[in-house]
Amino acid sequence: MSLSRRDFIQMASLAAGSALLPPAALARELKPENLLKFTPKGQLTILHTTDSHAQLVPMYYREPDSNIGVGANAGKPPHLTGKDFLRYYGLKPDTMDAYAYTCDDYIALAKEFGKMGGYAYIMSLINQIRSERPGKVLYFDTGDTLQGSATSLWTRGEDMVRVLNQMKCEALCGHWEFTYGEERIQELVKMMDFPFLAQNVNDATWGELIFKPYTIKSVNGLSVALIGQAFPY
C-alpha cells in the first residue's frame, strides 16, 4: 500500500489525537488512568508534531464539511469529510472520534466534550512517553507552529519558541514561519535550543544555504538523520 506524507500524518493523527481530548470525552470512552498509557516497542520512539498554528490553549475547532478532491483524488483521503470520513476509517458517530475529526452534530458534541488540544496536553503526553522510554525517544516538529494565533502575533513567534524549548524539541522545519520575514526568522532561530532545518532555502545572491540542512541525532545507540525540507511561505 502506497501512502503519501499527508495520508500518513492523517492516519497517525487518528491513533494519537484522542489523547488530546478533554476530560469529559475521556470519562465517556476512555479510563483517565489509561490516557497516557504507552506500551514500549522497539529501539526508538519517534514523536512528531506539526501544524498546531501556535494554538497554545484548548479551543473549539469544527472540521470542514467539504474537501474537494480532483480527478483520481476524488473520494479519497485526505479529501474526506463527515460521514464519509467516519465510514472510511471505521469510526462511530456520536463519539469523541466523530467530534475530533468531523463536523457531524458538532454543536451537540461540543457541548458534551468541550474544548480540545492545547500544549499542556501535548507536553504531558510527550513527558509521559519519555519517562517510560528514557533515552529512546526522538521528538521533532515540522512547522506551521510559530504562526497563527493571537499570542504568536503579539510576540511574533517568540511564545512558541519558548514552549518548544521547554518541551525539549530536537529539531524544527519551517513553513508559515517564514511569513515573519527574513530578519525575524533569524532572530527566532537564535532563540531556539534546537536546530532549525531547511536544506532547500538558499541565499538569493550567492545560492548558499541559510539554515542547517540536516542534523544527526544519537538515540539509544542509533544514528538518526533529520533532513529539513522546508516549505517557505
Predicted confidence at residue 218, as pLDDT, reads 96
Using the predicted structure, report yes or no on whether residue 89 has a pLDDT greater than 50. yes
- What DSSP line would sit under 116-158, residue for residue? B--HHHHHHHHHHHHHHSTT-EEEEE-SS-SSSSHHHHHHTTH
First-last CA distance in the chain: 32
Calculate mean pLDDT across residues 209-228.
96
> Could you report the per-residue pLDDT of 54-79, keeping only the tens digit for each?
999 999 999 999 999 999 999 999 99
Q: Which CATH entry fits the domain spanning 39-55+117-233: 1.10.10.10, 3.30.420.40, 3.60.21.10, 3.40.50.450?
A: 3.60.21.10
> Could you report the per-residue pLDDT of 151-178, keeping only the tens digit for each?
999 999 999 999 999 999 999 999 999 9
The pTM (predicted TM-score) of the whole model is 0.79
User: What residue segments make up the domains of the chain, in order of their start?
Assistant: 21-35+60-114, 39-55+117-233
- The CA-CA-CA angle for residues 65, 67, 70, to 5°, reads 150
Q: How confident is the model at residue 40 (pLDDT cuts 50, 70, 90)?
A: confident
Calculate mean pLDDT across residues 112-138.
92
Note whether 82 and 176 are within 8 A (CB). Answer: no
Note whether 214 and 225 are within 8 A (CB). Answer: yes
Calculate mean pLDDT across residues 130-151.
95
